C-alpha cells in the first residue's frame, strides 16, 4: 500500500523537502508493486504484471540470502485445523482489506471536500477522535492484503509501512503546529491513530520515566518493530503446526487441502503411486525430494501448483467472472461463495500434484526442510484418484511450471 497524503498535510517547498518527496514517491511505487501483487494476480491482467514483476521474485530466489523473502507465512492454499487462522484469513483479513479501502476513500473525500470549499482543518466525524484516519484505514487494508497473499516480503513491507506512516504523521503535525496555532489544542484532545491514544499511554508507562526522551523514542520504535517481527514468526510456526501433513516416506511430504488423518493421506497417495505412469515420472527425478498436494477434484487454485486446464485464463481471454472475483476480494459480501470456488469441495475424488522441491539455485531440499521459506515447487506429475473405487481416473504430465510460470507459489 502506498503512502497517501495525510488529511492535514501541507507539502513544504524547500529543496530538502523536494528530495524527500521524490524519495517517498519512489518508495510508494515499490510498495505498490509488491503490496498489490494479489490484486493483479486475481485480475485478468496478471500475465502482464508477472512479465515485469516475476523476474524480480526469481532473482530474489536465486540466493540463500534473499530466497526467504519470497516464501509464505500464513495458509493460502490449504485449510488448517486452527479456528484462529481460518477466521484471520476468511473473515477478518478479507473484510479488513475491502473496508479499509472504502474508509480511506471516504475520509479522502471529506478532506478534499473541505479544501475545495476552503474550510479550516477538518475536525468533524472521525477526526474528532483521531488525527489520521486515512493512514489508519490504509494500514487496516494492508493488513488484510497480507492475510490474503502472505509473502514474507509483503509482511516486512507492511511493518515498514506502519512506521513510515507514523513518521509522516509526525512531520505533518509539526508543519500544522506552525501554520495553525489552534492545532496544539486539537492534538491534546485526539489520538494519532486510535481513539484515546493508547499508544501514547503505553509509551508513557514504559518509557516516560527516561531522562533522554530521544533515546526513549527510538527504544519504543525498536521494541515495537521487534514485537511485530516476533508475532510474524509466531504466526508462521502456528500455521505449520496446524496443516494436515504426513511425511512417512523418506523423500516425500504429503499435504492435504482439507484436514485428513495421516492414514487417509497415505492411502490416497498409495493409490496414485500404484500407477506405473506416476512411478515412472517420479523415477525420472532420482535425487529429488517431493511434496504431494491432495487437492479436491474441483479445486479452484490448481494453477498455483501446475499449468493444468487453464486455457480460459490465457492472455487476451478476459472474462467478467474475473472482475467479479476481484470485486469479491475488495468487498467480500459481494461474493459469499468465494471460499468454495477457491478451495473446492470435500469428497472422495482427489487431484494429486507431485512436485519436486528445490532450494535456491535449484539444489534439492532435504526432506525435513520442505516447508522452509526458501523452498520452491516444480510440478512433476498430476493424477486424479477416486479413493472410494481405489482407481486412478486420469494422469497428466504437466509443463515444469505453474500456471504463473516459475514464480514461487505457496506450498501450504
* pLDDT score, position 87: 94
Q: CA dihedral in degrees (180, 168, 22, 108; nearest 10)? A: -70
Q: What is the pLDDT of residues 183-197, one digit of tens each?
A: 888 888 889 999 988
Highest mean pLDDT among 46-55, 94-103, 268-277, 307-316: 268-277
296 touches 343 (CB < 8 A): yes
Between these two residues, 338 and 92, which has the higher pLDDT value? 92
C-alpha cell at 296: 479436491
Q: Kindly state the average pLDDT of the residues 159-181.
A: 85
302 pLDDT more than 80: yes
Q: Kindly state the average pLDDT of the residues 337-347.
A: 80
> Residue 272: phi, psi to the nearest 5?
-70, -45
DSSP 339-396: HHHHH---SSEEEEEEEEEE-GGGPBPPGGGTTSTT-EEEEEEEEEEETTTTEEEEEE
Q: How confident is the model at residue 18 (pLDDT cuts 50, 70, 90)?
A: low
91 touches 128 (CB < 8 A): no
Highest mean pLDDT among 116-130, 160-174, 371-385: 371-385
Percentage above 90 pLDDT, the chain: 34
343 pLDDT more than 70: yes
Non-local CB neighbours of 275 within 8 Å, separated by 6+ positions = 383, 392, 395
296 pLDDT more than 80: yes
Round to whole Å and give the CA distance between 14 and 186: 27
**How far is it between the farthest Cα atoms of the chain?**
81
Q: Kindly state the average pLDDT of the residues 137-149.
A: 88
* pLDDT score, position 1: 43
376 pLDDT more than 80: yes
Q: Kindly state the average pLDDT of the residues 4-28.
A: 51
Q: How confident is the model at residue 32 (pLDDT cuts 50, 70, 90)?
A: low
Q: How confident is the model at residue 115 (pLDDT cuts 50, 70, 90)?
A: low
* pLDDT score, position 6: 44
Percentage above 70 pLDDT, the chain: 78
* pLDDT score, position 9: 42
* pLDDT score, position 323: 53
Between these two residues, 334 and 412, which has the higher pLDDT value? 412
Between these two residues, 119 and 370, which has the higher pLDDT value? 370
Round to whole Å and give the CA distance between 66 and 63: 6
Q: How confident is the model at residue 24 (pLDDT cuts 50, 70, 90)?
A: low
* pLDDT score, position 226: 96
C-alpha cell at 135: 493512514
Q: Kindly state the average pLDDT of the residues 339-353.
A: 87
40 pLDDT more than 90: no
7 pLDDT more than 50: no
Highest mean pLDDT among 123-127, 219-223, 311-315: 219-223
35 pLDDT more than 70: no
* pLDDT score, position 161: 84
Query: Considering only CA atoms, which of 205, 282, 255 is closest in space to residue 412?
Result: 255
Q: How confident is the model at residue 126 (pLDDT cuts 50, 70, 90)?
A: confident
* pLDDT score, position 318: 42
Q: Which residue has the cell 476481484?
A: 326
Q: How confident is the model at residue 327 (pLDDT cuts 50, 70, 90)?
A: low
Q: How confident is the model at residue 57 (pLDDT cuts 50, 70, 90)?
A: confident
Q: How confident is the model at residue 309 (pLDDT cuts 50, 70, 90)?
A: low
Round to whole Å and give the CA distance between 278 and 380: 9
pLDDT, averaged across the chain? 81
Burial class of 292 by CB neighbour count within 10 A (0 to 12, 13 to 18, 19+):
buried
Amino acid at each position: 500500500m502506498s503512502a497517501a497524503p495525510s488529511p492535514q498535510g501541507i507539502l513544504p517547498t524547500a529543496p530538502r523537502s523536494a528530495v524527500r518527496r521524490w524519495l517517498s514517491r519512489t518508495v510508494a511505487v515499490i510498495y505498490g508493486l509488491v503490496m498489490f501483487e494479489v490484486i493483479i494476480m486475481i485480475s485478468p491482467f496478471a500475465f502482464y504484471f508477472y512479465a515485469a514483476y516475476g523476474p524480480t521474485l526469481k532473482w530474489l530466489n536465486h540466493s540463500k540470502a534473499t530466497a526467504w523473502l519470497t516464501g509464505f507465512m500464513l495458509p493460502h492454499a490449504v485449510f488448517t485445523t486452527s479456528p484462529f487462522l481460518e477466521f484471520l484469513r476468511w473473515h477478518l483479513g478479507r473484510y479488513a482489506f475491502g473496508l479499509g479501502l472504502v474508509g480511506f476513500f471516504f475520509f479522502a473525500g471529506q478532506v478534499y471536500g473541505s479544501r475545495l470549499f476552503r474550510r479550516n482543518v477538518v475536525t468533524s466525524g472521525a477526526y474528532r477522535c483521531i488525527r489520521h484516519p486515512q493512514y489508519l484505514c490504509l494500514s487496516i487494508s494492508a493488513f488484510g492484503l497480507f492475510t490474503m497473499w502472505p509473502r514474507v516480503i509483503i509482511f516486512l513491507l507492511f511493518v515498514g509501512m506502519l512506521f513510515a506512516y507514523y513518521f509522516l504523521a509526525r512531520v505533518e503535525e509539526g508543519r500544522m503546529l506552525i501554520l495553525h496555532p489552534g492545532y496544539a489544542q486539537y492534538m491534546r484532545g485526539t489520538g494519532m491513530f486510535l481513539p484515546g491514544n493508547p499508544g501514547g499511554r503505553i509509551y508513557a508507562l514504559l518509557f516516560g520515566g527516561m531522562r533522554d526522551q530521544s533515546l526513549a523514542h527510538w527504544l519504543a520504535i525498536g521494541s515495537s518493530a521487534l514485537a511485530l517481527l516476533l508475532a510474524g514468526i509466531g504466526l508462521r510456526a502456528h500455521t505449520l503446526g496446524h496443516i494436515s501433513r504426513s511425511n512417512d516416506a523418506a523423500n516425500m511430504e504429503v499435504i492435504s487441502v482439507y484436514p485428513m488423518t495421516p492414514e487417509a493421506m497415505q492411502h490416497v497417495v498409495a493409490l496414485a503411486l500404484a500407477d506405473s505412469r506416476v512411478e515412472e515420472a517420479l523415477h525420472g527425478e532420482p535425487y529429488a525430494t517431493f511434496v504431494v498436494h491432495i487437492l479436491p477434484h474441483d479445486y479452484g487454485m490448481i494453477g498455483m501448483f501446475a499449468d493444468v486446464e487453464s486455457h480460459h485464463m490465457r492472455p487476451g481471454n478476459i472474462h467478467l467472472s474475473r472482475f467479479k472475483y476481484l470485486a469479491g476480494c475488495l468487498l467480500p459480501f459481494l461474493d459469499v461463495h468465494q471460499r468454495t470456488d477457491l478451495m473446492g469441495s470435500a469428497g472422495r475424488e482427489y487431484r494429486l500434484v507431485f512436485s519436486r522441491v528445490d532450494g535456491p539455485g535449484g539444489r534439492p531440499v532435504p526432506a525435513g526442510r520442505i516447508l522452509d521459506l526458501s523452498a520452491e515447487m516444480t510440478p512433476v506429475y498430476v493424477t486424479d484418484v477416486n479413493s472410494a473405487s481405489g482407481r486412478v481416473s486420469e494422469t497428466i504430465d504437466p509443463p515444469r511450471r505453474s500456471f504463473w510460470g516459475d514464480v514461487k507459489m505457496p506450498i501450504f
